[in-house]
Amino acid sequence: MNQQQIEKIKSLPQYQQLVKERSRLAWQLTFIMLIAYYGFILLIAFAPEVFKIVVLGNTITLGFPLGVGLILLAFALTGIYVRKANRDFDRMNQEIRDEVQL
């Protein structure tokens, strides 16, 4: 890439939109994961008695849906990102490449 191409790509609306949308989604999902995980950690540190609440039958405590839910959340978030990227980001990226013939 030379300076001219760099300026050209930076000025493309598709490029600006791609960067904006991808950054927004990536940071949103990152914050969800950070808040969920460190929320869980802080709950363990400050309110461990919450984990003693029995939610199902006689033995299954709140800790289980929380813990397993966190694992499923992590997987679901990666799925959301891949879905959005496959559907929109790749198309936008291809438009940029077509535009600058690279």
CB of 3 to another protein, least distance (A): 9
Taking each helix axis as running N to C, give the angle between helix 3-11 and helix 13-46, from 0 to 180 degrees, rounded to the nearest 10. 70
Gap between the Cα atoms of 84 and 90, Å rounded: 9
98 binding another protein? (CB under 8 A)? no
90 binding another protein? (CB under 8 A)? yes
Q: State both tokens at 28.
A: 């949103």
Which of positions 37-56 make contact with another protein (CB under 8 A)? 37-38, 40-42, 44-46, 48, 51-52, 56
Among 17, 21, 88, 93, binds another protein (CB under 8 A): 93
Q: State both tokens at 11.
A: 């000025």
